[in-house]
Structure 1
Amino acid sequence: MTKSATKIDMYQEVTNAMIELLETDLPQWKKGWKTRPVTNIFGGVNGSTGELYKGVNRLILAKAMINSDYKYNVWMTYKQAQAKNLQVKKGAKSVRLAYYNVIEKENKEGDIETIPFLNSFCVFNISQMDGDISAITPDEDETLTPIAENETAKTIFANTDVKIEYGYNSACYKPYIDTICMPNASDFVNLDEQFATLGHELVHSTGAEKRLNRQYGKKFGDTAYAREELVAELGASFLCAEMGCLETTLTNHASYLKSWLQVLKADKRAIFKASADAQKAVNYILENWSQKKQPIAA
């Protein structure tokens, strides 16, 4: 099989999985954290390096967690498992993750161009391994915190340079005045819902021209608008995973799901771009707003 064919297969494979997730698995996605207090559905971690997986790989592993109902969101390659004296069980099915590699090629003008291409590697969940996995499983006593109790979340919301105003009928980010508009706290079911909504709008704010400069779209239903909403939902969920929060905020509003599905079905690269933009937004938030001043009180 050629590299080109492999690339196309990987894009389509991931896109098909995400379409299936949105069409059939969304309720499980939303409730997943409630039954796994030490596992964030988007917090897939490498058991060898301790690093969180990023971007679209968070989604791939979330789908695998739902499909197989694994207890722990911890993964390793076959060789990494062997290095820890673990053996992948016979017949265990791997999960294929994506990464970009580059090749250098000389163009017609004699200049060297760097060309990215999609590649893949396979991982296994630690539940698929024989041996002592106790050293790489999350501590059952160290459960994830609700977002409203998370100190990093409090600090971020206190230190953002985006203006936040309350008293509105709905939540939104207005780029032309760089302001997040929020309903009053009393309009939310609880503080967790308020903070989760604020996280979604904060991801939107990273797309401002002076920050990451994303296209917002002009009205609900157009492609750019749908893409940006998907970035914000993924980004808010990724942010919770990075902070060690329980919440995942993916909406189940039918109109939003329909617009996202249209985007994914029209462009097999869309989920890769949205995931990458969501990860960039999270990185921006953590790098710029997570270590200043004092956290707000709960």
Structure 2
Amino acid sequence: MSRYDRTPRSGSERTNLYDEITGKIIAELEAGRFPWVQPWGKATAKAPLGLPQNASTGRAYSGINILILWGAVVQHGFPGQGWLTYRQAATLGGNVRKGERGTTVVYADRFTPEDEKRRARETGEEPGTIPFLKRFTVFNAAQCEGLPEDIAVAMPPPPPGLIEPRVEALIKATGIDFRIGGDRAFYVPALDHVVVPPPQAYFEPINWHRTALHELGHYAVSRIMPISGA
């Protein structure tokens, strides 16, 4: 579901949002990836060149949203530039996959209150307007399932030969929801799935296997010693 507030925001709230977005972009520009901190680099984006656009309406994003969505494509290695709100995905007959995290974009505009419109009609003056800012949470089409064929985008599988067959067989045998993509490795107990960056992002192939098995270890521990109340 898109998250936004129709209530006009104060100047300080708008400033905070601008600062938040600016800080995120600066962090991306300054971020370094070091082999002794984590054994993988940035995921490589597979999306075609072009402006990000709303996959439902076909409308291209503009302004700061272009940088935000390009950054998300690079960070997570998404294969397409199409984006949807949670509600738009549902309207198209699909849904956002469980556990997926959205990207926040913004929409800035002005509106004219009804009392200002009346005052303008009575005085012949220009009506006053109030600036507002909305936040929207959008998801890449690759984070969704069940979308129409002309919109659906699948994450490409790793190139053949990068995953040791015995490790791949072990992963499948666990029955866990094992996802490959992004630039972080983690296990989500509440949603029971593992996420690991793609093998091609690692400096050494063996380190992908170490990372994958490490995260599977968290999964195994959660099965042996389940969280109280879960």
- State the TM-score, normalized to the length of structure 1: 0.38
- State the TM-score, normalized to the length of structure 2: 0.48
Q: Whose helix proportion is higher, 1 or 2?
A: 1
From the CA coordinates, give the structure whose radius of gyration is larger.
Answer: 2
